[in-house]
Structure 1
Amino acid sequence: MDGTHTHKIKVGIFADGLGRKGKGTAIVLQRIVEHLYQMPNFNIRLIYLAGQCNHELCRRAPSVEVRLFQFPQFSGFFSYAYFFLFSKERFDIVHFPRPALHPLFWLIKALGRTQKIVVAFHGAPESRDIPIFKTWQTRFNRRFIAVFGKYFIDAGIVLSESARDPVARYYHLHNHKIVVINTGVDVQFSNIQHHILNDADKQYLQARYNIPYPYILSVGRLDPHKNIHRLIEGYAKARNKHGISHTLVIVGGKHEPTYTQRVERTIDDLGMRNSVCFTSFVEDKDLPLVYRGADAFLFVSLSEGFGMPLIEAMASGCPVLASNVSAMPEIAGGAAYLVNPYDTDEIAEGIQQILRDGTLREELIKKGILRAKNFSWERCAEETKGLYLKLYTNKDL
């Protein structure tokens, strides 16, 4: 858009998930909003249920509060139904930051209240071989988009080239509607003077989160596709076969109940109860310290749309071991030690190589720091802005 245009493109961004702690989707939404709402030529409006957003961006950025109807159950559902049916708000573009679409979302376009709809698909979809945590709501949303919602979606955002085709196939979207926009990495991870914790930092982590030292690290909730049970099996082999003494610290909540029970059984069966440490949640300000304190970062997920912890670890100067499947090789870009996530012997060998081969460690650290510099929120916001402009001017994506 050149300077002769006076109309600001009005974009409504659904922001109910803006304040969700420990969620990659929330972090992406926060950073995008922080950059976009201050851009000239754009009139950004956050859309959320009245009184339900406690994030400071909801106070700073212009907003549209959806009238909240209080019911014993499903208050949000009925409130958004009313909004989609009767709201007088008009937008040029509306942006859903994740594929959790209300069954009446399409009315906002059918009734002429927006010209274009954008939906972000952050994770890689499930497949026959890779289980993804799901509830009846997520099952409904996925099938709803694939069968009906696809007719009203003008652009889908994925976070890697690896996710483009799986998302297009799974949701029955035309491939030309899929746009790849990588996420960024917060400067707090890369804005550090050194990559070794001092004694005060170690004492703080132990007191605040019960994290021992030395340790190796994994970040991710206990969901089936995160493959934590095989990570623990590989780690146990590294201890028993190679004499590795590090504690395995896992940052992320015990989430999907059945899979959490499987992980717990694996720990007990292998006698690793005193060697595996779970920390359910780490404050944002402390996460760089946790990465910096680890002697290796392990990410053996079976399926990811991007894998933000990979880049956070690299930016923090922590050597990375990652899966050789899904988006991980693409995002790692040659800066990680790649393993077959189904092969626990390979995982064990990778752990001991990173911990004991000093030359390899230094190479991975240097490559990781350089690789992380390719990902920034400024670039992410600029590419999102470019997508909005193409949609507004009806140009090919």
Structure 2
Amino acid sequence: MHKINLAILKRNHDPTSLMVYLNNITKELGNFDLHIQYFSENTEIPKSCNLIWEPALAMRRIPKIYKKNDLPIVASIHGVKSYSLPINEIATNIYTRIYELLLKQQLSADWKWFKNRMTKVVAVSEYGANEVIKAFDIPKSKVDFIYNGIDHSIFNLEVMPIKHEKTYFFHVSTNNPLKNVSRIIEAYNDISSPKPDLVLATPGFKIKKRTEGIYIINSLLSQAELARWYKGAIALVMPSLRETFGMPLIEAMACGCPVITSNITGCSEISGKAALKVNPRSVNEIRTSMEMFIHDKSIKKELSNEGIKQSEKFSWTKSAAQFYKLFKSVQYGRV
């Protein structure tokens, strides 16, 4: 058997979550018998390689460079939100709605040729796999899912909690309507005082009305800083309208922080039985779940223990091992 010479498309300006994904998996792949070379959308695919890994497809155009050769391609896809949700939940103004609708049309055209060109699509959850199958009419036999991992050397029970004046609920996300921050704020405002603070690590999010007890972190937190915020929180509040995975769920659990999340999409799948789950479109359910953590200390302890066990199921070492197994099956014709 020939050694796997893996060509990986690397983009320089990907979102943090995609960079964490790529960097951790490629680091762990270094423990296996393969050789990695990188290329960009504007360079040639290395001629010495015999397999391509596209690590970061989502709501983005598919590079035309893949049309220029016939090497097998394994493509990771992190979600196609516009195929799963109403446009008014994805975009908040007319300009972003037009953009999303045009992008959806372009993606549909891209996938008409790419679904025949690629060898395997890898989603990050079963929910994500079903989403891409339905969106682009891809045969189930060509779609797998491999869960993300987390770095347990960063997210663990030994982390020192952040110093904050009061107890607090914590939320971390991008400035994206799918993260449901407005409903979290509305639910928090409905809780009777005195109450814990609400800390939102949401760079770019602008609160409509300044409210006592709500703190917004506008800077992008490092992984180590995130771990400290998780460790000190009463709970992570993350009732997203949609996630294909949701790494903060598992990161928080690994730090002993209990989780409030959605009862749908990847949130429910990834959190398993270790979270308090709510209808993300119900402000009342989000508020009630937060009040439970304020008034019932036993639920915090119970979900913290369950979350620690759930987080142990996910690691980048496991993810990379599954990728290596898949790469071998593709390379040696066992797909």
Counterpart check, 1:98 vs 2:56:
yes
Query: 2: distance between equivalents of 1:230 and 1:343?
Result: 8
Q: CA deviation at 1:141?
A: 5.6
Deviation, 1:322, is 0.4
Q: In structure 2, what is the equivalent of residue 47 of structure 1?
A: 39
> What is the distance in 1 between the residues matched to 2:61 and 2:196?
43
Aligned to 1:188, the other structure's residue is in SS state coil
> Is 2:47 the counterpart of 1:89?
yes
Contact 2:199 2:217 (8 Å CA) reproduced: yes
Q: Give 3-state SS (helix, strand or coil) of 1:286's partner.
A: helix
Task: Check if 1:166 corresponds to 2:124.
Answer: no
Equivalent position to 1:252, from 195, 198, 202:
202
**Given that residues 142 and 171 in structure 1 are in contact (C-alpha distance below 8 angstroms), is that contact kept between their aligned partners in structure 2?**
no
Offset at residue 190 of structure 1 (A): 4.1
TM-score with structure 1 setting the length: 0.75
Residue 344 (structure 1) aligned with residue 309 (structure 2): no
1:117 lines up with 2:73 in the alignment = yes
2:180 maps to which residue? 227
Other-structure match for 1:107: 67
Whether contact under 8 Å (2:7, 2:37) holds in the other structure is yes
Partners of 1:332 and 1:371 within 8 A in 2? yes
For residues 380 and 149 of structure 1, do their structure 2 counterparts lie closer, same or farther at Cα, with a shift above 3 Å needed? same
SS of residue matched to 1:311:
helix
* Correspondence for 2:293: 354
Give the CA deviation at 1:36: 1.0
CA distance in 1, matches of 2:155, 2:113: 43
Identity %: 26
8 A contact 2:196–2:213 mirrored in 1: no
Per-residue deviation, residues 308-364 of structure 1 (Å, max 9, x unmatched) = 000000001001000111111111110000001011011000001022211111000
1:306 offset after TM fit, Å? 0.4
Letter in 1 for 2:225: D
Q: Match of 1:70?
A: none
Whether the 8 Å CA contact 2:170–2:200 is kept in 1: the answer is yes
d(CA) in 1 for partners of 2:103, 2:56? 11
Aligned to 2:304: 365
In the aligned structure 2, how far is the partner of 1:92 from the partner of 1:166? 29
SS at 1:328's partner residue?
Answer: helix
- Cα separation, 2, equivalents of 1:138 and 1:382: 34
Match of 2:207 among 264, 272, 281: 264
Which of 33, 36, 40 lines up with 2:29 in the alignment? Answer: 36
Q: Deviations over 1:149-177 (max 9, x none)?
A: 22211111111111211111113322211
Provide the aligned C-alpha RMSD in A: 2.4
Q: Which runs of 5 or more residues in structure 2 are unaligned?
A: none
* Alignment correspondent of 1:175: 140
Conserved? CA contact 2:202–2:218, under 8 Å: yes
User: Is 2:216 aligned against 1:277?
Assistant: yes
Q: Which amino acid aligns with 2:16?
A: K
C-alpha distance in structure 1 between counterparts of 2:297 and 2:46, whole Å: 63
AA of the residue aligned to 1:164 = A
Once the two structures are superposed, what CA deviation does each residue of 1:202-256 show, in whole Å capped at 9, x if it has no partner? 1xxxxxxxx6532211110111211111111111112x3xx352221111322xx
1:1-397 superposed matches below 5 A: 5=1, 7-17=2-12, 20=14, 23-40=16-33, 42-48=34-40, 80=42, 83-84=43-44, 89-99=47-57, 100-109=60-69, 112=70, 114=71, 116-126=72-82, 127-129=84-86, 131-132=89-90, 139=104, 142-193=107-158, 197=161, 201-202=162-163, 212-238=165-191, 240=192, 243-254=193-204, 260=205, 264-265=207-208, 268=209, 272=211, 275-396=214-335
The answer (yes or no) to whether the contact 1:189–1:315 under 8 Å persists in 2 is no
Q: Report how far residue 129 of structure 1 moved.
A: 2.5
The aligned counterpart of 1:72 is none
Relative distance call for 1:128 and 1:296 in structure 2 (3 A) is closer
SS, match of residue 171 in structure 2: strand
For residues 215 and 112 of structure 2, what CA distance do their matches in structure 1 show? Answer: 43
The secondary structure found in structure 1 opposite 2:288 is helix
Q: How many residues align?
A: 324
Q: Distance in 2 between matches of 1:381 and 1:244?
A: 47
What is the letter of the counterpart of residue 301 of structure 1? S
Q: Post-superposition shift, 1:292?
A: 0.6
Alpha-carbon offset, residue 88 of structure 1: 6.2
1:146–1:170: 8 Å Cα contact kept in structure 2?
A: no
Contact 1:146–1:172 (8 Å) recurs in 2: no
Moved more, 150-159 or 121-130: 121-130
Q: Residues 142, 280 of structure 1: CA spacing in aligned structure 2 closer, same or farther, 3 A cutoff?
A: farther
Secondary structure at the counterpart of residue 306 of structure 1 = coil
Mapped to 1, the partners of 2:333 and 2:90 lie a distance apart of: 35
Conservation of the 8 A alpha-carbon contact between 1:146 and 1:173:
no
Larger Rg over CA atoms: 1
